[in-house]
Structure 1
């Protein structure tokens, strides 16, 4: 009899726990219809990644610019307007990442992307010098060489009568090599890792898919269940493939530091990101697991997001010959008939190309959604957002609001030529205390690569006005291959 009473009490306590946020002021906001106890959890449980992306995009059209979704006892506030997004991104206490990032911890640990509080502040302080303007200047040689190799490989493919290219696998090879040689100080051509490089790139794609499957299927959330199912075993294998590559990168740099002095640039030590981490290790400020956290984080973020941005960018340029021509004319005004590679002062003159890159990132921001777990209550007008709930900022949808960007689906680089500050209407690199530490690095790399592409080639779409089907993932991604036809100028 006592055990039966205990079960009844436990059920009552469980129901009270699941319903404890029912009186939150967020309940007054619109959102999809909710079931008792489960809220909206079951409505997303069997969605594909493509369906999940479509569901997220339609929220604002169905319910407005503040939408509440309930996941069991927790409220998730989805925001689409710049004023609300500014409040969240500039909050100095609410910097903790939300649920999807929890499932990334077995891969990225609690490195700069995921950590919060004192650990985040400490890591940010260690790593910020790696992205100082003077350090970025010293990377110019690597950007130049990578861009030149990319062009030469494309020319060779054209000579072999291969003029149509699946862009992403091709581009990601060069963005991966670039982040390794700049931030990690490791030349991928100097070690025999072609096979592990391919496994590494595939592991990132698979990790994203598995994390999204786990996120939408609530029964996979407990580690003890996930780790013992086939999906968890696949995830573990992906982590092994991923780590074997990053371990090689770390060991290669260690060996180089032992065998020779660190590169000198103008008589001063060039403080690459991995060197900063290894120096911090020697001072007892970080251990090997901490180094691996940051290397995994920056290897992923430093190559995959840029590769996706360049892929979508080439797709848009192929469809807009007039934009290509204008970039080519701008380059011609800078270089004349010379085919020399660009330097930093050349990049500064590429105003139209910079506007083009900004427009690419407006339409296809590499990180389309940003999430926070609320650590400190705050107000949005008369709405109190309380500790323990989550806020999701829809960057992809913010950039496509017609009241902010007239004819938002149109590709118009001219939007960014006025120099007018857009504040929180345009945030492809986030903003506030957790803004992207590598945004200048990414812009510089994209300028080098796109200017070299347009100077040497004309781009043509294989399908006019191609619109790939987007899917929910760790970065903005599509399953549709983006194929482009290249011709020498």
Structure 2
């Protein structure tokens, strides 16, 4: 066919293309209409105002020229209070759904679990930081990764955790003593949980508390740079490719090298019989199933994030509040001393400490470590509520739509927790059964795999610190503000003065 013939048929080709696109759009609309009719969906009437409803130039300007904002938890809460528990941000080609509704969140995480997946933005950013693993995979790949990690965190394995905790708690108490009782607890919590996690999961501790200026501290500093960079890139959404941070790239290279070297050291220590953990650990089991060292490193990084960051953040947030509430601290100490005295507690005793459990729950409610998250619709589906004038009708969710859910705001529902939702009041948990309205460790099939370890570790550390110090006094009167990182904790640290009995 000659060029002139091709040009002569060009109008026909354009017409065929137009017909094809029109037919495709008609079929898609018919499928949308059918689902909406079957489910009783209505369009959302709760919409956030956007300056550019077409291509999102306002979003691009804010992110690229005004800097990536902090998570702004209180700002998000105010939006929900103004617009309702589910609202949308609409542009010409995209819709983003925001929700703090309990039913919608349960629907995302459990009821219609297979209808949703991790958003591509999160997979890209977290995958760049951690590699493929439980926090970045979907479908069968995620199931396989989780099945590899689950045996190392069975309840029967947690019995060996107490000896490890006690050894490192004593190191932390030594650090507190050397600093004179007035200090920032937050870095000590992060060092403590790092030492415990590496010994329990890998058989060989980083011993950061005893060697605070060593290579382990460099690793943590580099990891925090990478974590902050990952959080900032996620706020950019589809524009993340425009951000480049050479310092973060160098930090990531050092993080990977540290973990690679550490894995070699741990495996050699285990083979020579120098491991301090009597039973097999996660690293041993993974190394038997995974021969590729890069994949092994990726799984280790995922578990360190799950077991270190969340527990340290929980402890920091809790002691931040306890230092400002001497009556709560006194009541907690009274319960612990009456039940345990000054002896080393076992896990069965920890489970019986009711007020301790209330304090932990209240901290996780007020300052959830993972305060917000998101899912992407893997297919055309629905949410139970969010449509119609009153927002109580089902809402159609087109494939590819991002649904952001806000646990921080859900944990402040006065209908569940009372009108004093901004107050730290452990007594509210007396008889309270919030169900899906309380999600500190997520829910459904992706519920936190290290939940039991995090709770037992937190209970134990709180008990041993409260036993050691009769009073806890805050030396920083700034309000709690979120640190911009993957796990939410105190921006200014936890500055306290500890008084022995």
TM-score category by the smaller chain? 0.7 to 0.9
Residue range with higher mean Cα deviation, 144-153 or 34-43: 34-43
2:194 is the counterpart of 1:182: no
- The residue aligned with 1:371 is 374
So what's the TM-score if we normalise by structure 2? 0.83
- Separation in 2, partners of 1:192, 1:66: 49
- The residue aligned with 1:293 is 298
Q: Equivalent residue of 1:61, what SS?
A: helix
What is the root-mean-square deviation of aligned Cα atoms in Å?
3.0
- The residue aligned with 1:410 is 423
| 8 A contact 1:196–1:244 mirrored in 2 | no
| 8 A contact 2:322–2:329 mirrored in 1 | yes
Deviations along 1:267-303, one digit per CA (max 9) or x if unpaired, are: xxx2422122112125xxxx32221111111112211
- The residue aligned with 2:145 is 123
- The residue aligned with 1:427 is 439
So what's the TM-score if we normalise by structure 1? 0.85
Shift of 1:257: 2.9
| 8 A contact 2:130–2:301 mirrored in 1 | yes
Shift of 1:47: 4.5
2:472 is the counterpart of 1:452: no
2:224 is the counterpart of 1:212: no
- Separation in 2, partners of 1:329, 1:410: 22
Residue range with higher mean Cα deviation, 112-121 or 56-65: 56-65
- The residue aligned with 1:30 is 47
- The residue aligned with 1:167 is 185
- Separation in 2, partners of 1:88, 1:143: 36
| 8 A contact 1:312–1:360 mirrored in 2 | yes
Q: How does 1:92-131 map to 2 (within 5 A)?
A: 92-94=113-115, 96-98=117-119, 99-131=121-153
2:406 is the counterpart of 1:389: no
2:321 is the counterpart of 1:321: no
Residue range with higher mean Cα deviation, 124-133 or 254-263: 254-263
Shift of 1:57: 3.2
| 8 A contact 2:314–2:489 mirrored in 1 | no
- The residue aligned with 1:240 is 253
1:275 alignment partner, one of 284, 287, 295: 284
- The residue aligned with 2:312 is 307
Shift of 1:440: 0.5
Shift of 1:27: 5.6
Shift of 1:259: 1.8
2:107 alignment partner, one of 76, 84, 87: 87
Report the structure number with the largest CA radius of gyration. Answer: 2
Shift of 1:152: 2.8
Shift of 1:483: 1.1
- Separation in 1, partners of 2:76, 2:61: 12
- Cα pair distance change 1:71/1:144, threshold 3 Å: farther
- Separation in 1, partners of 2:296, 2:442: 24
- Separation in 1, partners of 2:383, 2:225: 37
| 8 A contact 1:49–1:473 mirrored in 2 | no
Shift of 1:470: 2.2
- The residue aligned with 2:3 is none
Residue range with higher mean Cα deviation, 70-79 or 88-97: 70-79
- Cα pair distance change 1:69/1:138, threshold 3 Å: same
Q: Equivalent residue of 1:469, what SS?
A: coil
Q: Gaps (5+ residues) in structure 1? A: none
- The residue aligned with 2:165 is 143
